[in-house]
Structure 1
Amino acid sequence: MYGFLPLLISKALPRPTYSMTTHFPQMKERTGRWLSERHARRVQPKDQQLPMGEAEEQTVRAQYGNRSPTASLPVVSIVLVFAQKQYKLADHSGLSEEKQAIHQVEDSKAAVTDKEIKAVNADFAAALGQNAPNPWGRGHVALYCCCLVVYLCSTMNGYDGSLMGSINALPNYLRYYNVSENEQAGTGIVFAIFQVGQMTGALFVWLADWKGRKLPIFLGCAGVMVGTIVTATAKTLAIFIGGRFLLSFFCTWATTAAPMYIVEIAPPLYRGTVSGLYNTLWYMGSIIATFAVYGTHLHFTSNLDWRLPLWLQLLCPGIVCIAVWFLPESPRFLVATDRLEEARDFVVKYHANGDASHPIVNLELNEIQHNLRDVPLASWSNFFDLRILVKSRSRRYRSMLNLAWSWFGQFSGNNVISYYLPLLLTNVGVTDTNTVLLLNAVYALTGWIAAAAGARFHDVFGRRKMMLGSTFGMIICLSITAGTAAGYVNTGSKSSSDASIAFIYIFGVVFAFAYTSMQPIYPAEVMSNEMRAKGMWLFQFTAGLASFVNTFAAPVALKNIKYWFYVFFVFWDCFEFLFIYFFFVETKGRTLEELDEVFEAKNPRKASTRKVVLRRQEIVDVEGSRNVSRVDQLS
């Protein structure tokens, strides 16, 4: 309910409006008249066209001056279009006066071709132009390799979720610890302790501000390895639960710092894709876990069928522990700790592919320095001061989005399916253990494909459209699943059972397409640099709380109300759809620093969807063989 606080106080004074100069509208009017007259002369039959007489020439000169009319014709004009007047046009969002120059031409016989490019960051559009860094240049490829190492942090959550869901269907595991697969005091607490550890571990995310993003990633992965050893060797259920607490406690350190690191080092032009891929590796961990359990159950009849998959949980965090020391530090952390030369070297090497003269270098560094000028991240005084999350209207709005998305990502029906898919399959008549394990593995594989595709499309369609489309799709899938599951329970229909299974899988694909890739990334994007570490604590705590609620309650609900549990999530997802539509901002195409202007607007959601239109008008000669003039203007 705290998410609605920013809504109640969001009415602020209107932002000042800015009017454009009249110079360019006059130029465009003169140009339009000249083009109309010229077109009228051209469309006449050739034998009826008359040469321009002295009187006509004097008339034209009176309208356009002694210059050739073509000399005033805009050739490359950059037009900033805003949907509302109450949006503050920041200095870094416009074009400098140097770009408002008119370049004279030699040839007066010209036609006009128009090209439009839509963008939301005019500064980057002007700086990059046709000279955007090659996404497959040496620096970018090296950066992708760095990201790939950090992506492995995401596998830890996916591995645990699917591992516990799979071994919970194994008779040897249930018999060894004397628990039932749908017992609240047994299975429920074994699953829910992970969320308790997650919420507790989130209290230590300030380490990312104190010592940088890399140290908590290393410590977190090392702690996960310790927790894994405890669970894999546990003789009693109490020790097993304690090991899972350690595992989740340290896992949170790594999985909080990792998305912060990815968001901060990702190239601005491809941040949605590069950072969105991070959480898709949740499914890589899930696939490893589910197929490991499936394979061990086929080939072992002893307790090794569930102990070996537990030991395999050492793999990915072990790789990260070794490789993380070879990664560069976040440039934003470097700037915050006054290591400006190192930050500049990072941007030159990884974002400009080694070209120190590329305009993106100074542009990025200036924005980062301006944003962090008065707020150094590494300060003991602000580690536990959470007032920074709520002390202004814009900060409260950011925190509201963080809270909402953190809860939505874990409480849309997805977590129940992830942990309890075997039990869901049992409820619709699938009881063979091998079949259940195989279907669990296939669920993870299809989800990974959808999540990887969705990570790319977030930079194509934008965050809001993807979230809204996915939420609507989940509503449809859960509605049909509830209906078909009810049909199976009431009639025993095989076709109803098959339909339920199909739509459970479709739900997983729809959820993964938009939600999975953005779960830890969107909260990091909407937080300002000074808020990001504490914002990610808020994300982890809220997500853990949501997971705890539905994970602990799910086995009881599935046992007692069965398909009505789906109906509950249908109505909840309808609420999510409306909330996303009215409040969520679009972050596609903006630098992290530029989002500050969005949240300062009277209506951040509307401000985030305004477009900057870059209209390129090129004058070519009549034969279309060459450009003959150019104008860069602001209108």
Structure 2
Amino acid sequence: MDESKVSDARTEALELDLTSVLPHSDRPWFRQPHLLKLNLLLAVPLLSGAALGFDASMMNGLQALDNWVTYFDHPSSSLLGLLNAISTIGATISCFYVSTLSDRFGRKPALFLGVVIMIGASIMQAACHNLTTFIVSRFFVGLGMSSAFIPAPVLITETAYPTHRGKMANLTFTIFYLGSIAASWTTFATYRALPDSTWSWRIPSLLQGFFPVIQLCGIYFVPESPRWLLAKGRAAEARVLLVRYHAGGDTTSLLVDHEMSEMATHIEQEQRHTALGVSSLWKTKADRRIFIIITFIGVFCNWAGNALVSYYLSLVLDSVGIKSSGTKTLINGILQVFNGLCSTLGALTSDKVGRRTLWIVGCCGMLATYIPWTVCSALNLKSGNKEAGYGVVALIFVFYFFYDISVSPMTFGYPAEILPYHNRQKGISWVVLLSNLSLMFNLFVNPIALEDIQWRYYIVYCVILACSVVFVYFRLPETANLSLEHISALFEGDFRPWRKMTRFNYPWQTKEKE
């Protein structure tokens, strides 16, 4: 083909939307070598989410092991709170340096640092001989987990094939349950095989480094973010990666030309907004509307009542008369499998059902579950009603169904959609920070409150869930199947989230300038 015609075709492609330049193929992605290789490589950073899930479920399982409780001299409720909260303290600290490392040195080096810390902390945790060492190891576990997780979704989003980006983003958080399933069933198995040995809890502690070891072996082969390379003036390297993994080696690909042009434009926009700093999150009325929503999500994701079960299932089951270690570890294992299936269902149906619909259904369902949960817990405590105790177990599963189809897959996905480009990185960091802080508070307070006021503590979550239903209805708009530009327009002018939006009633002409 004549070079001038190729150049004209490229120029025309840059003026079209993404769908106009995507190559057409009759073969599914897993039969296209370049896409199969790219997705397999992106599974390496994806496993950072599994490491988070392993930790949450493992600590639940360890507290149910008589051997672990005896070895550490029956830790009090305040010590249990510290054991869980200390890892969140480490995770919170990492929020203040990982983003800087990722932006300055690359997504891969930041991920590598977190993986190495995780592996060392897991070994230290498995080898400890006193509670102090265990607590210190838990701090470094949290530091490593968060250090490995924060750059992971960014690397995946910036490197994934355009039509796979949404699915990969959903999997980033859904795969949390792969780790939680592995931890719960590992704990169950070691309890059965080694009930009188400290290896019943040392083996799960050591296996916490399993996913990071896989990441360490594969991280060298993972491509660096093309967008980061372009921002650092390494456009030629960025183009090589896009040609290799997005175009299958086609150096004349219109898709690559389109992506390179968009990346350059976005980076220029980012540089213009850099001077605004954190204050850009609330600069205009539209920014403030979005900021309120992401603040709610950052806190609510751990204050919906889920942290009570995720980290203290053993205490909840004790409170309703289920005290057998075998029964508790079995319930924990089944619950994690159930969580994984429900979260995947929510992630894969959010486009068809709608984000707003899932949020409303989820919050209403959790509230409708927590009320009878509170009543059953009160009946069991006052009368020793075993049926009420098993009713609580059933309600826990119902609660998680509603939590997993709504909050779980959209805790970070929904904020990423509604944030404008120049605020996206800062906004996600804010959500992560709030999530860690709210979890840390919950982890320390929950065991103390359960011990002191017992079933009455559930009333607090009933009130929170009731308020969330009102907030979600009046503040969260539908974003499914809309472009990012259309989503940004939802927050301008006449903001009424309950109204079904179409492209004809977006307030394009009423954009506020403040």
Bucket of the pairwise TM-score, normalised by the shorter protein: 0.7 to 0.9
CA 1:130–1:307: 2 relative to 1, 3 Å: closer
- For residue 202 of structure 1, the aligned residue among 95, 102, 122 is 95
1:179 aligns to what SS in structure 2?
A: coil
2:104 maps to amino acid: W
- SS of 2:351's partner is coil
1:211-222 superposed matches below 5 A = 211-222=105-116
- The 1:574/1:278 distance shift into structure 2, 3 A limit, reads same
Cα displacement (A) at 1:361: 4.0
- Higher Rg of the two aligned structures: 1
Matched residues in 2 for 1:221 and 1:287: separation? Answer: 20
1:598 corresponds to which residue?
A: 489
Q: CA deviation at 1:557?
A: 1.6
Does the CA contact (< 8 Å) of 1:231 and 1:240 recur in 2? Answer: yes
Q: Deviations over 1:354-411 (max 9, x none)?
A: 566665444444333222214349x9x97x9533434444444443333221111111
SS in 1 for 2:353: coil
- Aligned-residue identity in percent: 27
Q: In the superposition, relative to structure 1, how do residues 340 and 577 fare at CA in structure 2: closer, same or farther (>3 Å)?
A: farther
Q: Does 1:442 align with 2:334?
A: yes
Which digits, 9 at most, give the CA deviation of each residue in 1:562-621, with x for residues without a partner? Answer: 2222222122122222222332344433555x36743673256759963459xxxxxxxx
Deviation per CA, 1:34-64, whole angstroms, max 9, x where unpaired? xxxxxxxxxxxxxxxxxxxxxxxxxxxxxxx
> Matched residues in 1 for 2:437 and 2:328: separation?
28
Residue in 1 aligned with 2:4? none
> What whole-Å deviation, never above 9, does each CA across 1:118-156 have from its counterpart, x for those lacking one?
xxxx94456669889954444433332133222210112
Please say which of residues 523-532 and 208-217 is displaced more in the overlay: 523-532
Aligned partners of 2:290 and 2:491 also within 8 Å: no
Residue number in structure 2 paired with 1:296:
190
Give the equivalent residue in structure 2 for 1:174: 69
Match of 1:336 among 228, 231, 244: 231
Using the alignment, how far apart are the partners of 2:24 and 2:475 within structure 1? 35
How far is the alpha carbon of 1:336 from its aligned partner? 2.3
**Cα distance between partner residues in 1 of 2:477 and 2:241:** 29
Distance 2:353 2:255 in 1: 24
Instruction: Tell me, in whole angstroms, the C-alpha distance in 2 between the residues paired with 1:330 and 1:262.
Output: 8
Return the offset for 1:208: 1.6
Q: Structure 1 CA distance, aligned partners of 2:482 and 2:232?
A: 24
Q: Sort the Cα spacing of 1:602 and 1:354 in 2 relative to 1 into closer, same or farther, 3 A.
A: farther
Q: Which residue of 1 aligns with 2:439?
A: 547
Structure 1 residues 525 and 263, CA, compared in 2 at 3 Å: closer, same or farther? farther
1:475 to 359, 367, 372: 367
Equivalent residue for 1:286?
180
Q: How has the CA–CA distance of structure 1 residues 193 and 332 changed in structure 2, closer, same or farther, with 3 Å as cutoff?
A: same
Within 5 A, what are the aligned runs for 1:65-144? 123-124=17-18, 135-136=29-30, 137-144=32-39
Letter in 2 for 1:577: V
Q: Distance in 2 between matches of 1:316 and 1:166?
A: 18
TM-score (norm. length: structure 2): 0.86
Task: Report the AA paired with residue 173 of structure 2.
Answer: N
Q: Determine which structure has the larger helix proportion and give its number.
A: 2
Query: What is the RMSD computed on CA atoms of the aligned residues?
Result: 3.1
Contact 1:598–1:608 (CA under 8 A) maintained in structure 2: no
Q: Deviations over 1:311-348 (max 9, x none)?
A: 11111011112212211222332332233344444444
Question: Displacement, 1:264?
Answer: 2.6
Structure 1 gaps of 5+ residues are 1-97, 100-121, 614-635
Higher mean alpha-carbon deviation, 323-332 vs 201-210, is at 323-332
Partner in structure 1 of residue 268 of structure 2: 373
Cα distance in 1 between the residues matched to 2:480 and 2:38: 20
Q: Which moved more, 1:270-279 or 1:501-510?
A: 270-279
Query: Which shifted more, 355-364 or 144-153?
Result: 355-364
Deviations 1:139-187 (A, max 9, x none): 433332133222210112111111111111222222222233xx23311
Q: Once the 2 structures are TM-superposed, how far is the Cα of residue 491 of structure 1 from its aligned partner?
A: 2.7
Are 1:610 and 2:501 matched, yes or no?
A: yes
TM-superposed deviation, 1:510: 2.1
Match of 1:577 in 2: 469
Aligned to 1:227: 121
Residues 193, 241 of structure 1: 8 Å contact kept:
yes
Distance 1:612 1:470, change over 3 A: same
Secondary structure of 1:246's counterpart equals: helix
CA distance in 2, matches of 1:393, 1:422: 45
Alpha-carbon offset, residue 521 of structure 1: 3.0
User: How many residues were matched structurally?
Assistant: 488
- Aligned partner of 1:416 in structure 2 is 308
Kindly tell me: are residues 221 and 587 of structure 1, through their superposed partners in 2, closer, same or farther at Cα, counting changes over 3 Å?
farther
Contact 2:418 2:488 in 1 (8 A): no
**1:192 corresponds to:** 85
Q: Retained in 2: the 8 A contact 1:269–1:589?
A: no
Deviation at 1:536, TM superposition (A): 3.2
In structure 2, what is the equivalent of residue 263 of structure 1? 157
Matches of 2:368 and 2:84 in 1, distance apart?
28
Measure, in 1, the Cα distance between the counterparts of 2:471 and 2:163: 28
Superposed CA deviations along residues 198-238 of structure 1, whole A, max 9, x for unmatched, are 11111112212112222211111111112112222222212
Question: 1:90 — aligned with what?
Answer: none
Q: 1:508 maps to which residue?
A: 400
Distance in 2, matches of 1:133 and 1:206, equals: 40
Does the CA contact (< 8 Å) of 2:473 and 2:497 recur in 1? no
> Match of 2:322?
430
Rounded Cα–Cα distance in structure 2 between residues aligned with 1:263 and 1:607: 30
Instruction: Report deviation, 1:259.
Output: 1.6
8 Å Cα contact 1:133/1:351 also seen in 2: no
Query: For 1:373, what is the secondary structure of its paired residue?
Result: helix
How far apart in 1 are the matches of 2:27 and 2:422? Answer: 28
Structure 2 vs 1, CA of residues 584 and 606 (structure 1 numbering), >3 Å: closer, same or farther? closer
Contact in 2 for aligned 1:398/1:599 (Cα 8 Å)? no
- 2:60 maps to 1:152: no
Asked if 1:461 corresponds to 2:353, the answer is yes
With over 3 angstroms needed to count, the CA separation of the structure-2 counterparts of 1:157 and 1:564, relative to structure 1, is same
Q: Distance in 2 between matches of 1:226 and 1:194?
A: 14
**Alignment-mate amino acid for residue 294 of structure 1:** F
**Taking structure 1 as reference, are residues 539 and 413 closer, same or farther at Cα in structure 2, changes over 3 Å only?**
same
Q: 1:569 to 1:538 in 2, by over 3 A?
A: same
Aligned match of 2:508: none
Report the TM-score when normalising by structure 1: 0.70
